[in-house]
Amino acid sequence: MILINLLPHREAARKRRKDIFNITLGASVLLGGILAGTVYLWFEAAISHQQSNNQVLEVEIKKLEGQIKDIAGLEAEIAALRARQQAVEDLQSDRNLPVHLLTELTNQLPDGVYINKMTQQDQLVNLTGVAQSNERVSELLRNLAGNTPWFSKPELIEITAGTAPVSPKEQKRVYNFTIRVKLMRASEAEKQAQTAKAAVAPASAASGGAMSPAKT
């Protein structure tokens, strides 16, 4: 028996393909919407989590800033206390400075040099005196610069030629000078003395080793 399909099969097939396409398109749109929503929710959760972390960090930063301010205040107080302590120590040590000044100046004066006037302002001492020659003045400057830890940075302010009476009929040529020198505090003088000893010790050891005879 022969069956003949009288229905419009082409239109039905076209409609079926169109329906499948629409269903596929709708499913794709739905799936894309679900994926987009999922990604959006994930980003929102990540942003919310990061904002929470940022808030925690801001709170901790404020705490640290407060602690830093407290530490800075304590450091300032400690520095002020140390400055006061150093000032008290300097005052205590400065009580003996006139003694050291006179003693060291007497020890460093070369023969033929005489001090007529001495003034002090803070740690600077001005010496006004008379010398028999320029060489004696130079020797005094060298002594003040290198022979004692109690003086530093001697500076010749002025030197002029003059005369001094030796007898009623005789005048002797002399040199009037003014020298400025810094008087060191006791703590500074002690440091310089220790530095000088430390520098001399290796040199002495080296020279001693070089001069010692070789053992056979």
β-sheet with 124-131: strand ranges across: 113-121, 124-131, 170-183, 151-167
**CA dist., res. 142 & res. 94, Å (int):** 25
- One-letter amino acid of 121: Q
Q: Which helix (H) or strand (E) is 46 found in, with range?
A: helix 9-94
CB 135 within 8 A of CB 124: no
| Per-residue model confidence as pLDDT tens digits over 165-174 | 877 778 888 9
CA distance 210 to 127: 43
What percent of the chain shows pLDDT beyond 70?
86
Mean of pLDDT over the chain: 82
pLDDT in tens, 11-49: 777 788 888 888 888 888 888 889 998 999 999 889 988
Extended beta strands in 1-112, E state: none
pLDDT of 185 reads: 80
- Does residue 206 surpass a pLDDT of 60? no
At 8 the pLDDT is 65
Residue 103 has pLDDT above 80, yes or no: yes
CB neighbours of residue 140 within 10 Å: 25
Question: In the structure, what pLDDT confidence band is assigned to residue 215 with cuts at 50, 70 and 90?
Answer: very low
pTM across the whole model: 0.51
Q: What is the pLDDT of residues 52-65, one digit of tens each?
A: 899 999 999 988 98
Share of the chain above pLDDT 90, in %: 28
Residue 106: CA count within 13 A, CB half-sphere: 6
Q: Is 73 exposed, middle or buried (0-12, 13-18, 19+ CB in 10 A)?
A: exposed
Rounded distance, CA 136 to CA 14, Å? 128
| Predicted confidence (pLDDT) at residue 198 exceeds the cutoff of 80 | no
Cα–Cα dist 182/186, whole Å: 13
